[in-house]
């Protein structure tokens, strides 16, 4: 059994480590991977967006399953590229991946499926969007580019001035083609959760929910990032609420995709806001979340590779997922200047002195002369596990204290509110 994981971040490191532990004893490859991944898989210098080179490598090496981490290759059609050569890939078709690739497609899909979501309007002209904003009575509101815009196309506007600036930026070319259309929607209030389900297009197996922290600073201050931490499970989410998410959001979405000829297979990730009126969908992603994956997979008690193969073979029905009772807390260590800028090349120390119960996933590192260095952005994901949130959190932050690189920044409040909700 040979498995290729596409991508180079902390999410991919967690995927490689989890898949490598399968009882099927797979030979692991990663493209392009990173120095941490290279300890457990053969890394190959192929960019994640070079679909033809990835396909040719998989064919040459007789890869049995390719697992795609980032969204860009899926949105670009990597699944079809592989299928044309009879190769198996874990991830949706290009048509189904539009659920992340186009905010307009996703919102209209939700509306047609009857999925509860924020009220919204779509615009393809700046003047019409600005006229709409002038008649808005309530703020804040959310302005989203149609395309992913590398995760930077969402603005929570506190007033009309900020909203109009976001509209000008989108139509002014700041995000290229991703900003040619925009969505303006109401801002939902409540508790946000990340929901993963694995599906073969008919049956689903839900993972336990997680919560991430998007802003750079403690107390959710500062600009948005790719994610500065996460924890799982969510003590505040009651079983009936989770059941409602699956029944009212996940299932109707999958049915609607199948109805329009875009049957979905792989990992579907829903961002959900649990409001006073019940759960509502914020967005969908066509892949594992980052850094939520890093707190979900360490708790997985079922063979992930078997589940993925079952998705590809259409044999997911009747299977179950077992979970560890442990809790998991992830703290992201970012480079100096992130997210506005990114410093690279700083030596990382302390990775050999970590306590038990801690996972370290490399997200943006380099290696030189046998030593790890920062490679910009989010550098490392430090995950603590334990029987309680207090224990998991303490292990994560104890590990953080042993690690150092110049300009290292991180949040100190990850999972803090979860401690108050824990029944111990």
How many C-beta atoms lie closer than 10 Å to residue 223's C-beta?
12
Whether 175 maps to a domain, the answer reads yes
Q: Determine the average pLDDT of the residues in 387-410.
A: 97
Residue 196 and residue 297 in one domain: yes
257, 99 in Cβ contact below 8 A? yes
Output the pTM of the full model.
0.96
Residue 308 and residue 344 in one domain: no
The 10s digit of each residue's pLDDT in 341-363 is: 888 999 999 999 888 899 999 99
Residue 197 and residue 289 in one domain: yes
The answer to whether residue 126 scores a pLDDT higher than 60 is yes
* List of residues 6+ apart from 283 with CB closer than 8 A: 100, 103, 106, 270, 271
The answer to whether residue 423 scores a pLDDT higher than 80 is no
Residue 22 and residue 60 in one domain: yes
* List of residues 6+ apart from 2 with CB closer than 8 A: 26, 27, 29, 61, 62, 63, 64, 65
Whether 101 maps to a domain, the answer reads no
Whether 30 maps to a domain, the answer reads yes
The 10s digit of each residue's pLDDT in 292-342 is: 999 999 999 999 999 999 999 999 999 999 999 999 999 999 999 999 888
User: Residue 325, CB half-sphere, CA atoms under 13 Å: how many?
Assistant: 3
Pairwise CA distance, residues 217 & 410, whole Å: 8
CATH of residue 71's domain is 3.40.50.20
Residue 305 and residue 331 in one domain: no
Whether 130 maps to a domain, the answer reads yes
Query: Residue 353 has what pLDDT?
Result: 83
Residue 202 and residue 309 in one domain: yes
From residue 354, alpha-carbon distances to 189, 392, 399, 409 in Å are 38, 14, 6, 18
Residue 234 and residue 298 in one domain: yes
Residue 235 and residue 274 in one domain: yes
| Tokens 């994901």, residue located | 381
Range of the domain at 130: 125-180
Residue 262 and residue 348 in one domain: no
Residue 81 and residue 33 in one domain: yes
Residue 46 and residue 154 in one domain: no
Whether 20 maps to a domain, the answer reads yes
CATH of residue 361's domain is 3.90.600.10
Give the strand pairing for 204-206 and 191-199. antiparallel
Q: Please choose, from the candidates 226, 228, 237, the residue with its C-alpha nearest in 3D space to the C-alpha of residue 193.
A: 237
Q: Please choose, from the candidates 154, 161, 155, the residue with its C-alpha nearest in 3D space to the C-alpha of residue 133.
A: 161
Helix (H) or strand (E) holding 243: helix 239-245
The last residue of a domain, from among 264, 291, 313: 313
CATH of residue 199's domain is 3.30.470.20
Q: Please choose, from the candidates 33, 82, 3, the residue with its C-alpha nearest in 3D space to the C-alpha of residue 303.
A: 3
Whether 206 maps to a domain, the answer reads yes
Whether 346 maps to a domain, the answer reads yes
Helix (H) or strand (E) holding 87: none
3-state DSSP call for residue 208?
coil
Whether 109 maps to a domain, the answer reads no
CATH of residue 155's domain is 3.30.1490.20
Query: Residue 343 has what pLDDT?
Result: 87
Residue 240 and residue 296 in one domain: yes
How many C-beta atoms lie closer than 10 Å to residue 354's C-beta?
18
Query: Residue 341 has what pLDDT?
Result: 85
Pairwise CA distance, residues 79 & 88, whole Å: 8
Pairwise CA distance, residues 274 & 279, whole Å: 4
The last residue of a domain, from among 313, 338, 359: 313
The 10s digit of each residue's pLDDT in 2-46 is: 999 999 999 999 999 999 999 999 999 999 999 999 999 999 999
The last residue of a domain, from among 135, 155, 180: 180
Number of structural domains found in the chain: 4
Q: Is the dihedral of CA 416, 417, 418, 424 positive or negative?
A: positive
Query: Residue 138 has what pLDDT?
Result: 86
Q: How confident is the model at residue 424 (pLDDT cuts 50, 70, 90)?
A: low
């Amino acid at each position: 059994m040979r498995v290729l994981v596409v991508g180079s971040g902390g999410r991919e490191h967690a995927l490689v480590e989890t898949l490598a532990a399968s009882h099927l004893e797979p030979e692991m490859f990663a493209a392009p991977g990173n120095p941490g991944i290279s300890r457990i898989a053969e890394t190959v210098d192929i960019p994640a967006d070079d679909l033809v080179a990835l396909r040719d490598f998989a064919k040459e090496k007789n890869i049995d399953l390719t697992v795609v981490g980032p969204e860009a290759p899926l949105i670009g059609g990597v699944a079809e590229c592989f299928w044309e050569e009879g190769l198996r890939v874990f991830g949706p078709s290009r048509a189904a991946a539009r659920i992340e690739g186009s905010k307009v497609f996703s919102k209209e899909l939700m509306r047609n499926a009857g999925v509860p979501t924020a009220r919204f309007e779509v615009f393809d002209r700046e003047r019409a969007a600005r006229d709409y904003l002038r008649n808005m009575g309530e703020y804040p509101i959310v302005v989203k580019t149609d395309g992913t815009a590398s995760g930077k196309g969402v603005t929570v506007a506190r007033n009309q001035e900020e909203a109009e600036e976001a509209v000008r930026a989108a139509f002014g070319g700041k995000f290229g083609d991703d900003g040619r259309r925009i969505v303006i929607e109401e801002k939902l209030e409540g508790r946000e959760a990340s929901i993963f389900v694995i599906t073969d297009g008919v049956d689903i197996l839900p993972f336990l929910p997680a919560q991430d922290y998007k802003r750079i600073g403690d107390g959710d201050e500062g600009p948005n990032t790719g994610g500065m931490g996460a924890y799982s499970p969510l003590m505040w989410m009651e079983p009936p609420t989770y059941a409602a998410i699956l029944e009212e959001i996940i299932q109707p979405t999958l049915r609607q995709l199948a109805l329009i000829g875009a049957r979905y297979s792989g990992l579907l990730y829903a961002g959900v806001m649990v409001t006073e009126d019940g759960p509502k969908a914020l967005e969908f992603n066509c892949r594992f979340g980052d850094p939520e994956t890093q707190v979900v997979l360490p708790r997985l008690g079922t063979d992930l590779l078997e589940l993925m193969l079952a998705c590809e073979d259409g044999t997911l029905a009747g299977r179950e997922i077992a979970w560890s009772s442990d809790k998991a807390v992830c703290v992201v260590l970012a480079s100096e200047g992130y997210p506005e800028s990114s410093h690279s090349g700083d030596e990382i120390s302390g990775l050999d002195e970590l306590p038990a119960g801690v996972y370290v996933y490399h997200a943006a590192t380099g290696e030189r002369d046998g030593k790890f260095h920062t490679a910009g952005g989010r550098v490392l994901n430090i995950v603590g596990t334990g029987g309680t949130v207090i224990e998991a959190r303490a292990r994560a932050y104890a590990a953080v204290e042993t690690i150092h690189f110049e300009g290292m920044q991180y949040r100190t409040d990850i999972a803090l509110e979860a401690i108050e909700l824990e029944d111990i």
